[in-house]
Structure 1
Amino acid sequence: MQKFALLHERLHGLGLFHNNPPHPPSHFADSQVDTMDYIAMAHDAAYIEAFRQDDFTVQARRKLGLPWSPGLMQRTFTAVRGTMLTADLALEFGLAGHLAGGTHHAHHAEARGFCIFNDLAVTARYALSRPDVERVLILDCDVHQGDGTARILSNDPNALTVSVHCRANYPFDKAESDYDIEVEKGCSSKEYLRLLDAYWPLLLDRHQPDLVLYDAGADVHREDALGLLELDDAAIFKRDTHVIEACLDRRIPIACVIGGGYMKNLKRLAEVHGIVHQAAFRLFQQYFE
């Protein structure tokens, strides 16, 4: 929980938040009553209520991996609303970033791997309800496959899921995304970037989405406790720059979320999570000023 506040402090310290035109102002989302209705677009109503009432079974709590608390409930609803807001801002300004999000292991009626509600799936369906969005593409570059996202959206022809993940990592019962790009344990920065650059522009050109949701997982980092890959700060900056730049070159709005990150040094983790925001800020200045 502490990493979110530390990320906020990190980005403030870098001077990335301000309200001066032509930049969009900083936005902070709080949980809203109507968020419940949107979450129900991707999750079972009884499951949502069980979480709100702290009524999970012992087995469900074990799969989640987090103890219930009022703070967790507020953070969970706020994070989902924040991803929805980030999508709205991306569609308005071309590029936006969220200081949370990427809870891609949550299934329709089941919490898994620290994920309760799948903000990517919720936001994809929310965006598709807008009259100006016909196709959403989710690019998930977290080290773990976005299994919940893939399963929830498996029958949504206008919500495409792309997962770039470590084959040998969690979850071990992989889902089937529209595109699964698997990398091997110990994958180098050079090989990872080569694969991403080989596929990403082609996928954008083939599907021409109206919105991209980008999960910029920090757990691909070589210092991450759960990652198994060998990317460093510079490689992650290149990854995020290449992903965002390919969208902006094609005038495709892109909304970024931070995804997973599990370093024991939380200040260091906040630095790595902030890389996507630094890349986005630099590109926003380049493309929109």
Structure 2
Amino acid sequence: MVKIAWHPLFAYPLPEGHRFPMLKYELIPEQLLHQGFISRRNLFAPDKLCEDVILLTHENEYWQQLKNLTLPAKEQRRIGFPLTEQLVEREIRIAQGTIDGAIYAKQFGIAFNVAGGTHHAGSNWGEGFCLLNDQAIAANYLLNNGFASRILIIDLDVHQGNGTAEIFNGEPRVFTFSMHGDKNFPFRKEQSDLDIALQDGTEDEMYLNKLNSCFPLLLKHNPDFVFYLSGVDVLKSDNLGKLGLSKSACLERDRMVLQFCKNNSLPVQVSMGGGYSPDIKDIVDAHCNTFKVGIDIFE
């Protein structure tokens, strides 16, 4: 059975004026339920992540500043919204949901987090709406507890996974792959194991061809587990993306990645990442397509 992490805090309302589309986290499971692709049995509510697990990935001083709401104002501005107790709890539940999803993926082949993909959080910083790096935390949890020995992180959000790259710099057991907009946030990139930088306006055929050419390189890492960040800010309609993908190409991207995992018997945990199209329906539809194709391939 495909398991999906969701919690009411995922849709926690931000202060008025913030553009981050929190509503999508409520609408994604509702749409999947309404259309009959999942039932309530597929959904699970993650608990709070324990501190010891956080500290496998993030530095103690940074975590204490988050926990105690003492992060300097400059660092809060870097994140993009003011720090609150609810936002910190939201982030630790997201990360626990990704860990739980990874364990479910080992059992069922695939699992999802309605939220997550907080790849701009580094070992001692938050940035770009990301406080804690959920997939990095889950990867370290798997490695530390013997659930995986070689991990592949496929990051196809339009923004480079700079935090993930920094966290795993020099870690041979984790291969980080990011295909992203070259002239887009973050403007100071970190070095992934494989970075594919795309020009503004890159369209369907070129994007999919570049992605397809990467799979043989990714397989050389000999992974036994995959984390996939499936941001839909690659859409042409996205306010922050600058690429030119159609919704059908975004769906095909997901199919290619998840079929690659299935064909190579690689369990995969999927976090949703970004999506900032002006019409919330475009965001939700594209995210729901990720769930639908994953369920189709693995069930």
After TM superposition, the score normalised by the length of structure 2 is 0.89
SS in 2 for 1:280: helix
Q: How does 1:260-275 map onto structure 2 within 5 Å?
A: 260-275=274-289
Question: SS of 1:207's equivalent?
Answer: coil
| Alpha-carbon offset, residue 42 of structure 1 | 0.7
> Are 1:86 and 2:101 matched, yes or no?
yes
1:231 is matched with which residue? 245
Q: 1:265 and 1:194, CA in 2 relative to 1: closer, same or farther beyond 3 A?
A: same
Give the CA deviation at 1:78.
0.9
Indicate if the aligned counterparts of 1:97 and 1:280 stay in contact, CA closer than 8 A.
Answer: no
Over the matched positions of the two proteins, sequence identity in percent amounts to: 35
Partner of 1:26: 42
1:110 and 1:204 map into 2 onto residues whose CA distance is 28
The CA distance in 1 between the partners of 2:39 and 2:180, in whole Å, is: 34
Runs of 4+ in 1 over 4 A off after TM superposition: none
Partner AA of 2:213 in structure 1: A
Q: Name the SS of the counterpart of 1:198 in structure 2.
A: helix
Matched, 1:68 2:83: yes
1:284 aligns with 2:298: yes
Distance 1:272 1:35 in 2: 32
- Residue equivalent to 1:22: none
Deviation at 1:265, TM superposition (A): 2.6
- Determine if contact 1:106/1:115 at 8 Å carries over to the other structure: yes
**Which residue of the partner structure matches residue 11 of structure 1?**
32
Q: Does 1:107 align with 2:116?
A: no
Q: Is the 8 A contact 1:186 1:230 kept in 2?
A: yes
**Amino acid across the alignment from 2:176:** T
Which residue is equivalent to 2:207?
Answer: 192
Cα distance in 2 between the residues matched to 1:130 and 1:29:
22
Unaligned runs of at least 5 residues, structure 1: 20-24
Q: CA deviation at 1:164?
A: 0.5
Deviations, residues 134-187 of structure 1 (Å, cap 9, x unaligned): 100000000000000000110211011000101111111111000001111100
Gaps of 5+ in 2: 1-21
Letter in 1 for 2:142: A
Secondary structure, counterpart of 2:220 in structure 1: helix
Indicate yes or no: 2:259 matched with 1:249. Answer: no
State how 1:137-148 maps to structure 2 within 5 Å.
Answer: 137-148=152-163
Letter in 1 for 2:28: L
Q: Say which is worse superposed, 268-277 or 189-198, in terms of deviation.
A: 268-277
Greater CA drift, 63-72 or 262-271: 262-271
Kept in 1: contact 2:226–2:266 (CA 8 A): yes
Please tell me the residue identity of whatever aligns with 1:235.
A
Question: Aligned partners of 1:10 and 1:195: how far apart in 2?
Answer: 31
**C-alpha deviation, 1:14, in angstroms:** 2.1
Match 1:128 to one of 129, 143, 153: 143
Indicate how the Cα distance of structure 1 residues 132 and 62 shifts in structure 2: closer, same or farther if over 3 A, else same: closer
The alpha-carbon deviation at position 118 of structure 1 amounts to: 0.7
Amino acid at match of 1:38: V
Structure 1 residues 9, 76: closer, same or farther in 2, change over 3 A?
same
Query: Number of aligned pairs?
Result: 278
- Backbone CA RMSD of aligned residues: 1.4
What's the counterpart of residue 225 of structure 2? 211
Q: Residues 129-168 of structure 1 correspond to what in structure 2 (within 5 A)?
A: 129-168=144-183
| Partners of 1:6 and 1:267 within 8 A in 2 | no
Contact 2:46-2:100 within 8 A present in 1 as well: no
Residues 196, 248 of structure 1: alpha-carbon distance in 2 compared, 3 angstrom cutoff: same
**Letter aligned with residue 18 of structure 1:** S
